[in-house]
Amino acid sequence: MSRKPARKPAPRRAPPKKRQAVRRSRKPGMLDQLMGALPFTPATLQRLATWSIVGVTGVVALGVANWFGVPAMAGTAASEVIGEAGLRLEKINITGLRRMDQMTVYKQALDQKSRAMPLVDLAAVRARLLQYPWVEDARVSRRLPDTLTIHIVEREPAAIWQNHGQLMLIDPKGALLEPVSREAMPDLPLLIGDNANHQEEARRKLMDAAPALKPLVKAAIWIGNRRWDLVFDTGERLMLPEGEMEAADALRRFAEMDAKDGLLGKGKTSFDLRVPERMFVCCRAAKPQPAATSTGNVSQGQE
């Protein structure tokens, strides 16, 4: 019998090489990059999220209460819950003050039935502040979670109004600001006469007609609610006609004559321009001369 040839053993395959675990650095995702770019710490972001959830919950609660006709007490209670959660008035930032007392503003801002931020009455605070003479406008707003911001626009003093012996600071619209003493009068124009404070804008327009005379005017007197008399620091009095245009034209004409002939400071007492195209001038009375003596000497007199 022929022997079958022996089979050669199959070559043994080499065991697969173990893949070395390569630890690759994980790239930050888009969300992680955005979070890292924000100028907040994780703790701050958590507080902001909490306030947002509380605020949304409060708004929903108030809306549901109004929808179902629940009394306002329920809405107030919901706002108090929001206040206890952190939205509570703790700080007041005030800007724009120069003359008004800061404690007065604090007092009006803190006069609240509740310190919960949703219940702070911004309109009431503004209305109370507008009652003070120095306050022309007030802007009141919330800055969550706990700050009330108030910006005061103060009135600017424009003149001093003298009426029945009392001196009062007024703004350009004639609003009364505060009394002032004669010893502490600021360097401002002086208005004299009944209702002269309401004519401050008209006085300013009048003086714009003669800028050269403006620094020489000591006082402006409002006569009979009709016209102006101007008193200069040299003592003379200028009587102007009625009407804004007529008074401005007369003052302009007087300024031209003073620049040409030097009318002021020459011993005159008054200049009357109430008659169109004419001027009446009053001079100071001459001093009386001494009487003749009993010896027969003749006193020196005027020709």
The closest alpha carbon to 87, from 54, 44, 131, belongs to 54
Question: What pLDDT score was predicted for residue 118?
Answer: 86
Between CA 259 and CA 53 the distance in angstroms is 76
154 forms beta bridges with 135
Question: What average pLDDT does range 65-91 have in this prediction?
Answer: 55
How many other CB atoms are there within 10 angstroms of residue 140's CB atom?
A: 21
Tokens 């219940």 belong to: 119
- Inform me whether the pLDDT recorded for 54 exceeds 60: no
**Which residues have a Cβ under 8 Å from the Cβ of 80 and sit 6 or more positions away?**
114, 116, 119
Question: What pLDDT score was predicted for residue 64?
Answer: 47
- Inform me whether the pLDDT recorded for 22 exceeds 50: no
Question: What pLDDT score was predicted for residue 87?
Answer: 81
93 forms beta bridges with 149
Which of the residue ranges 30-34, 151-155, 181-185 would you say has the lowest mean pLDDT? 30-34
What tens digit of pLDDT does each residue of 229-245 get? 999 999 999 999 999 99
- Inform me whether the pLDDT recorded for 103 exceeds 60: yes
239 forms beta bridges with 229, 272
- Inform me whether the pLDDT recorded for 254 exceeds 80: yes
Between CA 9 and CA 263 the distance in angstroms is 141
Between CA 168 and CA 159 the distance in angstroms is 8
Answer yes or no: are the C-beta atoms of 140 and 126 closer than 8 Å. yes
142 forms beta bridges with 148
Between CA 29 and CA 46 the distance in angstroms is 20
Instruction: Set out the domains of the chain in order of their start, with CATH numbers.
Output: 91-154 (3.10.20.310), 159-283 (3.40.50.11690)
What are the start-end ranges of the H helices in 94-243?
102-110, 122-129, 200-207
The fraction of the chain above a pLDDT of 90, given in percent, is 57
